[in-house]
Structure 1
Amino acid sequence: MTATRPVIEANRRGKREQIIDAAKQVLARDGLAACTARAVADASPLTKSAVHYYFDDIHQIVDIAMREHVAAMVAGLRQAADGESDPVEKLWAVVDAYLATFAAQPNAAFLWFEYWIDTGRRQSADAVAATVEDMRALLGELAAQLPVDDPAVTVNALLSWLLGTVVQQQIRPQSPANLRRELNSVIHHTMG
């Protein structure tokens, strides 16, 4: 009987992964409001009942799917940083790749902010905090290489600037040269 337990657990993990993959697809394609148990089931080989069986609720699915979306994005940003040796150029490569992601996938910006609003309304800000921590960690690594007084202050300023810039780029896109000037200003203001 114990020999079947690992098989059952592997099957369970596999089903959960299928559900999360389907949710990521629905979220990216249709947005947060469209990510229902029915839509996730339709995008997967599983039934709506299976979706409910393997997860407590749709919020749990969305939280995990969003965390995986952000983790994948941060992995790509790390690759962008790895392509540079100068600390400022590393940061610029990350910022450029970050903004390019949202420019190439405009719905991703809306999804991200819809998710923030949703988690706030359901008083589950810890879910967003978990996704932001990956980005905060990357920015922290980059800020530690810069000549700034307090890397933590720099990280907060950079993160705020990035989030605001994503919104602004959706409304009134700025050129890379203007964005770089703004970024340099943010960094300069956190230097001693």
Structure 2
Amino acid sequence: MLAALTGAGLSAAAGLNAYIPFLLVALIARFTEVINLPHQYAWIESDWAIGIAAVLLLSEVILDKIAVVDSINDAVGTFVRPATGGLIFAATTAAEDYEQGSSFMADNPWIGVLLGIVTAGIVHTGKAVSRPVVNVGTAGLGAPVVSAAEDGAAVTLSLVAIFLPVLVIFLLLLMLWAGFALWRGRWRRRKERDALMADAGYS
């Protein structure tokens, strides 16, 4: 159960920023005993994987804070984020089960991959849909603020998933509530705008 929560939290974080959970897992696996990746995923903690992830994270952090460019970045992320979510979910749950002497996830890696892809894909979709709304509503000024908040959420969610996985459900519910609140606010503003336009047309 805890392994699944760890995978879910990390894949959800990947939906916000693909490289933050990947890099954290890689560094923690490389320099601590908290995560012991099984041999088929050992490449994640290699020098070249960490280096590439660090470069990609830097570019993601910069590009995602520029209005319009962030939407292009999200379009690319449609493929990258779910794929990373699937990889990280499978790797971490296999590592957890490996430590406990169970080979179920290691023998059925497609289960973790599928769950990670779905989780990251849902979060990514919410991010990609909401960002243009923020950009239009703030004339692009809100992009760096929202992006920084998403990066912070990805770091927090990743660390909680690794060290306190029991809290992952709470954080995921909080993200769901925030997404619903944003959608509801958008719907309300659209309704008010339509009412104003109707009144103007009537007068």
Structure with the largest fraction of helix: 2
Q: Which has the higher contact order (CA 8 A, sep 6+)?
A: 2
TM-score strictly above 0.5: no
TM-score scaled by length of structure 1: 0.29
TM-score scaled by length of structure 2: 0.28
